[in-house]
Amino acid sequence: VSNSSSSTSHVDVFQYYTLPCISLLYKAGGPVVDFSYVGIDAILEQMRRKAMKQGFELNIMVVGQSGLGKSTLMNTLFKSKVSRKSVLATAQEKIPKTIEIKSISHDIEEKGVRMKLTVIDTPGFGDQINNENCWQPIMKFINDQYEAYLQEEININRKKRIPDSRVHCCIYFIPPTGHCLRPLDVEFMRRLSKVVNIVPVIAKADTLTLEERDFFKKKIREELRANGIDVYPQKEFDEDAEDRMINEKIREMIPFAVVGSDQEYQVNGRRLLGRKTKWGTIEVENIAHCEFAYLRDLLIRTHMQNIKDITSSIHYEMYRVRRLNENNTVVTHANGIPEHHLAAHEM
C-alpha cells in the first residue's frame, strides 16, 4: 500500500517545535493553520540536531616520500596547524630509518559543527634504499583499526558510540616527475586500494606546466586502469545515475594536482594562501593555478559522508567477512600473549 499524505509546499516553515501549542505554517500573507501537514519531515531537523550534538569524526592518512609537502597540505586543507610537524616539532627533522605511523587528533569546530580530526602520518615511507614491503606496516595499521572496531562491535556490553579510528581516506602523494607512476606507487596503490579509499594527488604541482600536468595525469589514469587500481570514487560504488554523473566528472580529474601553503600573501588587494616566487605568486585556492580547491571540496564539502560510508559499509565489512571466515583464530592467553608466540618461546 502506498499512501501519500498531501504534500504541501510551503514558502517558509516556522520552527514548530518552539511553539508548544499550535503548529503554524507561515505562508506569504500570514499564519495559516494547515491541517493536512503531519510533520514527518521534521525528522530531518531532529537528525541534524542529534548530529550537531554528537559531532563528527574523520581520520585521514597521508602517505608519500619525505619532502612532498604532506604536512603543509594537511595544514592548508584544514586551515590550521594539524600536521604532525606542527605538533611534534623536533629539533632536527631526520628521515626515520624505518616507517613510523604517527597519528594526531584535533578537535575543530566550525559554525557549531564539531569535528574530531585525526591525521595519520607515515614518515619514512619510500625513503629507504630498499623499499620492499614498505606498504606492510601501513596495511597492518589500517587492518588494526578495523580489528579494534570489530572487537568493540562484538562485545556483549557495547559502548553507546563505538569510537571510530578506522582510516576513512588515504591521500597518496605522487612526486611530480611528469612521466609516469613509479613501481613503488603502483604496488602501494594496488594493494591499498583494496582496503581503504585512496585519493592520489600530484604533489608540488607548481613544478609542472599545464601541458605537462595534463600529460602526466592522463598517463597516471591509464596506468591505474591498466593495473586494475580502483581509487576513490570507485566506479562500482556509484549508487545511482546522479551519483555516477557527479563521480565521472571527478574521475576525469584524478589525480588532483595540488599545491599546499600555510602562508598568506597580498594578491590584488586580498590576502590569499600561496607560494611566492620570483616569477609570480601561486594562489593555492585559485583553480586556474592548481586543483587544491577541488580536492578540498571533494574531501570536505561534498563527499566526506560518502567516504565514511564506503569505509564502514564496504571496506570494514569486507575485513569483517574475512576475519570471521578465518578458521585459525589466534587464541590469546590471559596475559595477552598470543599462543603461537608462547609456543615459539618455549622452543
Partner 1 sequence: MASTEIARQAGEGARAVPLAGHVGFDSMPDQLVNKSVNHGFCFNILCVGETGLGKSTLMDTLFNTKFEGEPTQHNQPGVTLKSNTYELQESNVRLKLTVVNTVGFGDQINKEDSYKSIVEFIDAQFEAYLQEELKIKRTLHSYHDTRIHACLYFIAPTGHSLKSLDLVTMKKLDSKVNIIPIIAKSDAISKSELAKFKIKITSELVSNGVQIYQFPTDDESVAEINSTMNSHLPFAVVGSTEEVKIGNKMVKARQYPWGTVQVENENHCDFVKLREMLIRVNMEDLREQTHTRHYELYRRCKLEEMGFKDTDPDSKPFSLQETYEAKRNEFMGELQKKEEEMRQMFVQRVKEKEAELKEAEKELHEKFDRLKKLHQDEKKKLEEKKKSLDDELNMFKQKKTAAELLQNQAQQAGGSTTLKRDKERKN
The identity of residue 335, as a single letter, is N
> b or e along 181-193 (b: 16 or more beta carbons within 10 Å of the residue's beta carbon)?
beebbbbbbbebb
Angle at which helix 183-192 crosses helix 136-154, to 10 degrees, equals 10
Q: Out of 11, 21, 91, 343, name the contact with partner 1 by CB under 8 A.
A: 21
Q: Out of 38, 95, 210, 245, name the contact with partner 1 by CB under 8 A.
A: 38
CA atoms within 13 A on the CB side of 214: 2
DSSP per residue over 246-285, as a string? HHHHHHTTPSEE------EEEETTEEEEEEEETTEEEETT
**Rounded Cα–Cα distance for residues 185 and 101 (Å):** 18
Other Cβ atoms within 10 Å of 342 Cβ, number: 14
Q: Is 317 a residue that touches partner 1 (CB under 8 A)?
A: yes
Q: Out of 25, 27, 66, 137, name the contact with partner 1 by CB under 8 A.
A: 137
CA distances from 203 to 18, 67, 68, 176, 283 (A): 50, 10, 6, 6, 15
Q: In this structure, are residues 252 and 67 in contact, taking their beta carbons and an 8 Å threshold?
A: no
**Rounded Cα–Cα distance for residues 255 and 85 (Å):** 25
Angle at which helix 316-325 crosses helix 136-154, to 10 degrees, equals 80
Q: Is 25 a residue that touches partner 1 (CB under 8 A)?
A: no
Site for partner 1 in 41-80 (CB under 8 A): 41-44, 46-53, 56, 58, 77-80
Site for partner 1 in 153-192 (CB under 8 A): 154-158, 160
Site for partner 1 in 239-258 (CB under 8 A): 239
Q: Is 274 a residue that touches partner 1 (CB under 8 A)?
A: no
* Shorter beta-carbon distance to partner 1: residue 123 or 175: 123
* In the complex, minimum distance from the CB of residue 177 to partner 1, in angstroms, rounded to a whole number: 23
DSSP per residue over 59-87, as a string? EEEEE--TTS-HHHHHHHHTTS--SHHHH
Binding span for partner 1 by CB under 8 A among 2-10, 177-185, 225-233, 245-253: 2-10
Q: Is 340 a residue that touches partner 1 (CB under 8 A)?
A: no
Q: Is 266 a residue that touches partner 1 (CB under 8 A)?
A: no
The residue whose grid cell reads 580530526 is 117
* Shorter beta-carbon distance to partner 1: residue 155 or 209: 155
* Shorter beta-carbon distance to partner 1: residue 109 or 346: 109
* Shorter beta-carbon distance to partner 1: residue 228 or 269: 269
Q: Is 210 a residue that touches partner 1 (CB under 8 A)?
A: no
Q: Is 296 a residue that touches partner 1 (CB under 8 A)?
A: yes
Q: Is 331 a residue that touches partner 1 (CB under 8 A)?
A: yes
Site for partner 1 in 74-113 (CB under 8 A): 77-82, 87-88, 98-113
Q: Out of 95, 179, 210, 332, name the contact with partner 1 by CB under 8 A.
A: 332
CA distances from 58 to 73, 112, 118 (A): 16, 16, 6
Q: Is 134 a residue that touches partner 1 (CB under 8 A)?
A: yes
- Cell readout for 33 is 493553520
Binding span for partner 1 by CB under 8 A among 59-67, 202-210, 216-224, 298-306: 298-306
Q: Is 27 a residue that touches partner 1 (CB under 8 A)?
A: no
* Shorter beta-carbon distance to partner 1: residue 37 or 149: 37
* In the complex, minimum distance from the CB of residue 264 to partner 1, in angstroms, rounded to a whole number: 9
Binding span for partner 1 by CB under 8 A among 180-188, 211-219, 225-233, 299-307: 299-307
